[in-house]
Amino acid sequence: MSSESIEMAKNRGYKLLEESEAALAAGQIDEAGWYQRGMAVITPAYLAGDNPRSQSGHSGDEAHWRQARSLVAEAMDRDGAFLDVGCASGHLMECVQLWAGERGVRIEPYGLDIAPELAALARSRLPQWAERIWVGNAIAWVPPRRFDFVRTGLEYVPRRRQPNLVRRLLDEMVAPGGRLIIGSGSEEKDQTRHGPSQEEEVASWGFGIAGSLRRPHHHDARLEYRVLWIEV
């Protein structure tokens, strides 16, 4: 079992997020400053990666990546268009198409990232999809179309704005009959967690959880990988 703090084990960006939340609450930065702080740290770190996984913020090998991220593809129950919010290098876009295809599900991937440099990286890696990778902040971005599946992380916006992000994605980006998929990050197991799970927190905002999946963490017995989804 890892000796690392549980919060750092769940999210390598925990310290940055907590410092940004504290600065926002104290009025030292506004919301624009919150996003700028994140991009100033994350963008160069991702661009310095030497493989598409590290360029998407993942430090493990391909097996670890699949264990952590393929839950997203498993949450897709039919053919359709998929938007990855926070697509970074675009690696999840291509992997979801592959993983879903292994189950006979045909997925057409699209990407959105707040950092122009990361969107440019994804376009250069995936030139066949260059026209379907956009730059924008999902809390305000106006999509050119709707998607059968949209995946997001809640940590992409300030904590107080997370319910707004969920509502906007459901209202503006998910197609009728589609799914908003949230995850797949690391979460503490139910038997050791002291606060609400992400699923319980999202439900407390008034959203109905249609389903969820979980899987053991690659190397930390305290954690699990999880996704949940909301249907439109």
pLDDT of residue 82: 98
Q: How remote is the C-alpha of 126 from its chain's centroid?
A: 19
pLDDT of residue 214: 95
pLDDT of residue 54: 96
Q: Is 184 within a domain?
A: yes
Q: Is 152 within a domain?
A: yes
Q: What is the mean pLDDT of the chain?
A: 93
Q: What range defines the domain where residue 38 resides?
A: 6-231
Q: Is 42 within a domain?
A: yes
pLDDT of residue 12: 63
**Is the model's pLDDT at 5 over the cut of 80?**
no
Structure confidence at residue 4 as a pLDDT band (50, 70, 90):
low
Q: Is 13 within a domain?
A: yes
pLDDT of residue 192: 78
pLDDT of residue 230: 98
**Is the model's pLDDT at 1 over the cut of 50?**
no
Q: Is 1 within a domain?
A: no
Q: What is the 3-state secondary structure (H, E, C) of 194-226?
A: CCCCHHHHHHHCCCCCCEEEEEECCCCCCEEEE
**Is the model's pLDDT at 204 over the cut of 60?**
yes
Q: Classify residue 122 as exposed, middle or buried by CB count within 10 Å of its CB (0-12, 13-18, 19+).
A: buried
Q: Is 38 within a domain?
A: yes
Structure confidence at residue 193 as a pLDDT band (50, 70, 90):
confident
Average pLDDT over residues 100-116: 98
For 6, 10, 73, 217, the CA distances from 64, given in Å and listed in that order, are: 19, 15, 15, 9
> Where are the strands (E) in the chain, listed by range?
80-85, 107-113, 133-135, 147-152, 174-188, 211-216, 223-231
| Number of domains present in the structure of the chain | 1
Average pLDDT over residues 206-226: 94
pLDDT of residue 185: 79
pLDDT of residue 94: 98
Q: Is 132 within a domain?
A: yes
Structure confidence at residue 11 as a pLDDT band (50, 70, 90):
low
pLDDT of residue 10: 47
Average pLDDT over residues 37-64: 95
CATH number at residue 25: 3.40.50.150
Render pLDDT for 148-167 as a digit per residue (tens, 0 to 9).
Answer: 999 999 999 999 999 999 99
**Is the model's pLDDT at 34 over the cut of 50?**
yes
Q: Is 135 within a domain?
A: yes
Structure confidence at residue 194 as a pLDDT band (50, 70, 90):
confident
